Chain A
Amino acid sequence: MEQRLANIWRMSVNEKKFIENALLSDHRVDGRRPFDYRRLSLKFGSDDGTAEVQLGQTHVMGFVTAQLVQPYRDRPNEGTFSIFTEFSPMADPSFEPGRPGEAAVELGRIIDRGLRESRAVDMESLCVLAGKLVWAIRVDLHILDNGGNLVDAANIAAVAALLTFRRPECSLGGEDTQSVIIHQPEVIDPTYKEEIIMGGRMTVTMNTNEDVCAIQKPGGQGVKQSEIMRCLRLASQKATDITDKIKKAVEAYDLERAQRKIRRHSSSSAQAACGADIKMSKQVVDVTQKKIDGFKIQSKDPMNQEEVESDTDLENSNTRGENNSFQQVDEIHGKMKSVNLFTGRPSSWHPYGKGITSLSTCTSSVALSAPRAMEAEKKDTVALERPNESKLEKPSVEATVDDSHTKEMSASVQQVNQKKSLKDAVKVKSRKKKKVASTMVGE
């Protein structure tokens, strides 16, 4: 017991007093202003769903994995979502391996609550077979280095990892968290040493719509109402900042990932390039159709989700989720096939990609996305993005043009099927999709 105490690093009284006095005169030891965040750097791993966050000295990694499991009895249509926080002993000599301590449990709960309450993860879209099989998403957060403010870094890692995670059918949108630490002088994003001397802390989870998703204030010093309001306002500011940073990083990563695939497509042989498609065309036509149905429809949603994310249009996402589950319930067989196919190559599916291999639908997919952007300002950004994507898609399209008869066959089959699938989509989906289909038919 004494040995464990001996291993804990203690701060001297002099140092404590120094930091306190500095804070009282609005000076922070590392030179920041009281409400400045440390530099945030976000890196992604080669696998989908891995994110590494560095917030100053604090270093957190998030990994997202999915498994097919049986759903809970009272929620047969919803997938499950769980967060595992690992306070690795490499982060801090005081972290012991084995059972998670209080701080670890609290951190896990804050992040879990933030993501669940803000409906960042669409549970219903995780359903594969109602009542039998759903996706269980598991987020593992590894704390690699404790430089203070683990909650924020861990939350950003979780959100970033979820944003870049792709399971065979669907991608996930995310929100964001803020940690506002209160001391006699208030300070945001404390470092390790500041955390040691602080009297209390408050964590506010907000989404970019300026809705408060969760607040956690476990004991500590009492705070006046006015101060809490000030903190909330500050939190909303920082939340938008950080969400922007995360989005930019995720977009850059998505672009790079798409480019990687396209390079692979155009450089490799004809057969290899469209391996997945050829497999599809070899299967029975209606199964192929169902699969394309599934993917075409699904691929619209993440595009929309990403566009609409910052508006947090919960109703929209919920209806889409329901529609997805209808589609899934109807075409269970097709879905299962597609799941099997894509366990080997999960990265072959990505939100912008489905239209790539068929020739004329390349342009139509561009047209598709434009009208779907409901908001005026979103349209501009989408229109800007889409030409980029279509330019990227064009080289691979040209590559497929040069290919053999079988390829063209499969392409035309897909094209025909896609036209069919969109009409089917009209019947099942809401009126928004009808608008899309009409433009499609018009072409």
Chain B
Amino acid sequence: MASYFRRKKITFWPCGFRISGDTIVLAAVYGPKAGSKKNESPEKASIEVLWKPKSGQIGKAEREYEMILTRTLQSIFLSTIHPNTTTSVIIQVMHDDGALLPCAINAACAALVDAGIPLKSLAVAICCGITESGSIILDPTKQEEQEMPAFAYLVFPNSSLAVLPGTPPLIEGEPVEHGIITSVTHGAMSVDDYFDCLDRGRVASAKLSEFLRKNLAQSQIPNHSSKAS
């Protein structure tokens, strides 16, 4: 337990890499800590998310984000390794310029990896929007989000499959797991549009996860400074 009780901080930008108006989210992970939450079973580890907005009181929107994030992370978290513990993920919004939730999910995932918490796979989140003209754009800014009739936040798992069931979908020549972990949509879009979004999102998430893996691998090497007890 002592070896995990570390705290890491990751700042994360969305895949847009814009120079001005970036969405910036800071994620910190503490855990596993002793004790599980009240309603949770002590047979498994639980994960707790705290969402801190930039300014203002904590309201319903923040609670919703926390809930979505908790459920998303629970699906990649291994809850059987250390039962009766809690891992806290704290998200601090530094700047919001669109695609806030995907940014936070990516940041939380990176923070978990950096803290050394074992995970099933990486969760990679993207934001996909449908403009009035019917074209699909990835990673919209806040202004674009407000003007679009519909957009969706999609979270994909990112793990290569060891056992291949039938003919698995190939992305860049490697068999990857197919499916969505989380999908949050705003506005109305047709079913075809939604599937289009999924396809584009899948490809984009592959690129994003490449970037994530590369950076995390690089940062692990000289990284031994931590507030370990």
Interfacial residues, chain A to chain B (CB-CB below 8 A): 3-4, 6-7, 9, 45-47, 50, 61, 63, 65, 84, 86, 88-90, 93, 97, 138, 140, 142, 144-145
Contacts and interface: CB of A to CB of B under 8 A. Distances in A.
Q: Identify the 6 closest CB pairs spanning chains A and B, nearest first.
A: A3-B35, A90-B28, A90-B90, A140-B55, A6-B34, A3-B34
Contacts of B92: 61, 88, 90, 142, 144
B33 A90 contact: no
B55 A138 contact: yes
B35 A142 contact: no
A61 B94 contact: yes
Nearest to A63: B55
B72 to A, nearest CB: 19
A7 B26 CA distance: 22
Contacts, number: 61
Query: B-side binding surface: helix, strand, loop or mixed?
Result: strand
Contacts of A61: 92, 94
B50 A47 contact: no
B54 A140 contact: yes
Q: Which of A61, A86, A93, A138 has the most CB of B within 10 A?
A: A93
A144 B34 contact: no
B7 interface: yes
Contacts of A4: 35
A90 B9 contact: yes
Nearest to A139: B55
A3 B88 CA distance: 14
Interface string B164-191: 0000000000000000000000000000
A46 B20 contact: yes
B90 A89 contact: yes
A344 to B, nearest CB: 11
A46 to B, nearest CB: 6
Contacts of A97: 50
22 contacts: A3-B34, A6-B34, A7-B34, A9-B227, A9-B229, A45-B95, A46-B20, A61-B94, A65-B55, A89-B28, A89-B88, A90-B52, A90-B90, A93-B30, A97-B50, A138-B55, A140-B56, A142-B92, A144-B9, A144-B26, A144-B28, A145-B9
A89 B30 contact: yes
A65 B57 CA distance: 13
Interface string B136-151: 0000000000000000
A89 B50 contact: yes
A135 to B, nearest CB: 15
B134 interface: no
B67 to A, nearest CB: 15
Interface in B25-54: 26, 28, 30, 33-35, 50, 52, 54
A283 to B, nearest CB: 26
Nearest to B229: A9
B21 interface: yes
A77 to B, nearest CB: 26
Nearest to B24: A45
Interface in B67-105: 88, 90, 92, 94-95
Given A93-B7, A140-B56, A144-B26, 14 more contacts: A3-B34, A6-B33, A50-B94, A50-B95, A63-B54, A65-B56, A88-B50, A88-B52, A89-B28, A90-B30, A140-B54, A142-B52, A144-B28, A144-B92
A88 B54 CA distance: 12
A341 to B, nearest CB: 18
Contacts of B95: 45-47, 50
